[in-house]
Structure 1
Amino acid sequence: MLRNPRTLVLLAVVAALFVAGSLAPLPTPVEIQQWAGSFGPWFPLLFCAIYAVATVAPLPRSVFTVSCGVLFGAGLGLVVALVATTAAAALALLLVRALDRDQVASRLTHPAVRTINDRLARRGWLAVGSLRMIAIAPFSIVNYCCGLSAIRFWPYLIASVLGSVPGTVGTVILADSLTGGTHPAMYVITAVCFAIGVAGLIVDARWQPPAIPVRD
């Protein structure tokens, strides 16, 4: 039996919120977009900044991408999502390298770790672009790992943007047309991006780069 009064109060509050949420009418996607548009042109800029900062932390990017489609529609929502994704990827890499990379890199002496680091340094763009297409690869975790590696900034950023475009476009467009439930096309887009990402990782694993000459 529950004897703690605080527990009973908490359960009562949760039950009341559940009932209220079930009875309250939910706004339609059109009403949500009208509500977002009523705030003026500064709201997309604010949401873009929130999106970028929040996804530097280990928060799911897909939630913000879906919100872009629901709040701003396909056109503006896609612009906001891609700009925020680019900014988050750049900020995460620069932040990791500014704070922790030197300390962590000095401890990455295991041969397997050094091999991965060398691969990212030579052609990391292929691995990064492939991982961006795989939905199960967390956006922030990939950023952190790349920040600790020797991959160059611009190949990393370009691969991040290009690899994120297909999934972002599909998510925003389908969120814009969302009327309830998950559109079947979303599964197709996710499966295609996943297949392309896995194929890229296989090519990356089998592609032997030319050896870097050792200078005396």
Structure 2
Amino acid sequence: MDTLRNRLALVVWPMLLAGLMLGMWLTPWQGWVEPLERWLADHTRIGWLVYLALYVVVVALPLPAAAMSVVGGLAFGWWGIPLALLGSLLGALGPWWATRRFLRDPVMARLGGPRVRAADAMVRDDALVFVTLLRLTPILPFTVQNYLLGLTSVRLIPFAIATIAGLAPSTVALVWIGELGSLTFTGATAGQILSLVAGLGVFAAFLAWAIWRAIARLRSAGFHA
């Protein structure tokens, strides 16, 4: 069962990227991509703030945050990468802090036996590696990860750094799809589009390899979720 689950986790991102690319082609974006880009050009700071606020809400709730990264590429181009990463981090901090503040102590008092505390100490001491690998893999939904990590003693700075590092590859791929859609509907040449598609294919292969390695590292550390 674990092997089947890990194989399914391994193909989640490639399947998601393929599905999002198909969705970009089938969705009638033409009517509002150019007006959106013109509005953002005239209201840059407001547009960034609105996007970040929406991203925080989507991440904090069980909503498809991946779509927000695609929208970031569609609306802001490659600037969608830092914006999406910042939105992801800000959205993750709220659930993590709330769980840490109000639930960790009661849960540890009830369930925190020697083995649980030893595992918690291991995660805390190796937080950068563990959280980065967890963020990279689709073993658990991102929103669920934030609440579960709040139950651990992972500190703020490692949590933030590892969240950015672990989300960066998938965020790049998703924003890439949005940028591809934007160019498609604003008159890019066939050569430009093909080069972006080819580059995205290579990056997707790298992402699949990175996920496979991350899953293997987590399993070797005893994490079998």
> What is the TM-score with the length of structure 1 in the denominator?
0.71
Q: Is 2:71 the partner of 1:59?
A: no
Q: Within 1, Cα distance between the matches of 2:168 and 2:55?
A: 16
Please give the alpha-carbon distance, in whole angstroms, between the structure 1 residues aligned to 2:168 and 2:34.
Answer: 23
Q: Which amino acid aligns with 1:93?
A: W
Superposed CA offset, 1:8-62 (max 9, x none): xxxxxxxxxxxxxxxxx8223x951541441511112111111013202222321
Over the matched positions of the two proteins, sequence identity in percent amounts to 26
Match of 1:157 among 157, 160, 165: 160
Structure 2 vs 1, CA of residues 105 and 169 (structure 1 numbering), >3 Å: closer, same or farther? same
Q: How does 1:1-216 map to 2 (within 5 A)?
A: 26-28=28-30, 31-32=32-33, 34-39=35-40, 40-41=43-44, 42-74=46-78, 76-178=79-181, 179=184, 185=201, 187-202=204-219, 204-205=221-222
Separation in structure 1 between the aligned mates of residue 38 and residue 88 of structure 2, nearest angstrom: 22
Alignment check: 8 A CA contact 2:169 2:207 kept: no
Moved more, 79-88 or 34-43: 34-43
Kept after mapping to 2: 8 A contact 1:52/1:85: yes
Deviations 1:135-180 (A, max 9, x none): 3431111111110011122112111111111111121112211359
8 Å CA contact 1:70–1:176 kept in 2: the answer is yes
CA RMSD of aligned residues (A): 2.6
2:89/2:163 contact within 8 Å kept:
yes
The one of the two structures with greater contact order (alpha-carbon pairs below 8 A, sep at least 6) is 2
Task: Give SS of 1:150's match.
Answer: coil
Shift of 1:191: 0.7
Question: Aligned equivalents of 1:128 and 1:176: distance in 2?
Answer: 28
Q: Identify which range, 130-139 or 190-199, moves more after superposition.
A: 190-199
Matched residues in 2 for 1:36 and 1:56: separation?
A: 27
Instruction: State how far apart, in whole Å, the 1-side matches of 2:34 and 2:212 are.
Output: 33
Whole-angstrom distance in 2 between the partners of 1:102 and 1:140: 21
Structure showing greater Rg: 1
Q: Distance in 1 between matches of 2:70 and 2:206?
A: 14
Structure 2, unmatched stretches of 5+, are: 1-26, 186-196
Aligned residues of 1:134 and 1:197 also touching (Cα < 8 A): yes
User: Which runs of no fewer than 5 residues in structure 1 stay unpaired?
Assistant: 1-24, 207-216
CA distance in 1, matches of 2:34, 2:206: 24
Give the TM-score, by structure 2 length: 0.69
Question: Secondary structure, in 3 states, of the residue corresponding to 2:62?
Answer: coil
> Amino acid of the residue matched to residue 28 of structure 2?
L
How far 1:125 sits from its partner (Å)? Answer: 2.1
Structure having the larger proportion of residues in helix: 2
